């Protein structure tokens, strides 16, 4: 069934909706390459943990915020985007400045879970942010999907998954599936004010990085892209999610 696409503008920010108040994506019209929503910024914390990715998979396009950010700031990266709804792709092109560049940006119209289960490609970074009009992810929160994500990560790959925290039972079940698929090499950041919680999972060599090094990486990222993740690191430290001021995955 085709979703109802609704585009709204308020205070210089354009938002994407699927026929409800739920925001599926946002863009500040004056700065279309900037990450407007807090959870999209936090998904980019994956960039603090490994070298710059060269092959990126994005499950769910939305307003193309993550796609545009990576396209602009990581010109050596090839991006594959899987979006189940053709109308979302059309809206991203018409209203949210999705680039047209088949050499660097490969768009796939299809189901993200089916793509993962049927693909043979490897990726340095996998970003999962797919929801329907009722804020449900379906098979994108299943153990087979997360196992497929792990299988398709490169030797030092990272996966970042956007979760909603409004249903604690479902969130707990999803996080357990993610942890099981990655042999407990998964970590969820404290939830944002919006109710989104970003989880990271790693394959290949262990990730072990001190908060001092994370801050150094965050400062370099800010210089490179303008994205400031220092507040995210403060929240992470306050939550005591990491032992001995070290992030280990």
Catalytic positions, please? 129
Return phi, psi of residue 59, to 5°.
-100, 110
**From CA 91, how far away is CA 83, in angstroms rounded?**
12
Q: Which residues pair with 198 in a beta bridge?
A: 162
Q: Dump strand ranges (E) for the chain.
A: 6-10, 13-17, 23-28, 55-59, 78-83, 105-109, 123-128, 153-164, 186-188, 196-202, 208-210, 246-248
On whether the CB atoms of residues 249 and 207 are closer than 8 A, the answer is yes
Cα 182 to Cα 1: distance, rounded to the nearest angstrom: 33
Tokens coding 67: 């796609």
170 Cβ neighbours under 8 A, 6+ residues apart: 141
């Amino acid at each position: 069934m085709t979703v109802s696409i609704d585009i709204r503008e308020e205070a210089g920010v354009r938002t994407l909706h699927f026929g409800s108040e739920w925001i599926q994506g946002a863009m500040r019209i004056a700065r279309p390459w900037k990450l407007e929503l807090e959870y999209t910024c936090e998904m980019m914390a994956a960039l603090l943990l490994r070298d710059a990715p060269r092959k990126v998979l994005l499950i769910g396009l939305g307003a193309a915020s993550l796609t545009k950010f990576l396209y602009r700031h990581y010109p050596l990266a090839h991006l594959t985007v899987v979006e189940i709804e053709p109308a979302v792709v059309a809206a991203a092109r018409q209203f949210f400045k999705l680039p047209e560049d088949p050499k660097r940006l490969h768009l796939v119209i299809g189901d993200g879970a089916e793509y993962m289960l049927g693909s043979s490609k490897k990726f340095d970074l996998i970003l999962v942010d797919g929801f329907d009009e009722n804020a449900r992810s379906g098979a994108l929160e299943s153990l087979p999907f997360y196992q497929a994500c792990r299988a398709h990560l490169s030797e030092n790959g990272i996966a970042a998954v956007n979760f909603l925290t409004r249903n604690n039972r479902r969130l707990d079940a999803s996080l357990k599936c993610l942890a099981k698929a990655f042999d407990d090499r998964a970590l969820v950041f404290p939830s944002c004010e919006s109710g989104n919680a970003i989880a990271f999972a790693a394959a290949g060599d262990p990730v072990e990085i001190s908060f001092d090094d994370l801050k150094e990486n965050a400062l370099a990222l800010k210089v490179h892209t303008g994205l400031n993740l220092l507040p995210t690191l403060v929240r992470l430290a306050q939550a005591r999610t990491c032992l001995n001021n070290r992030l280990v995955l």
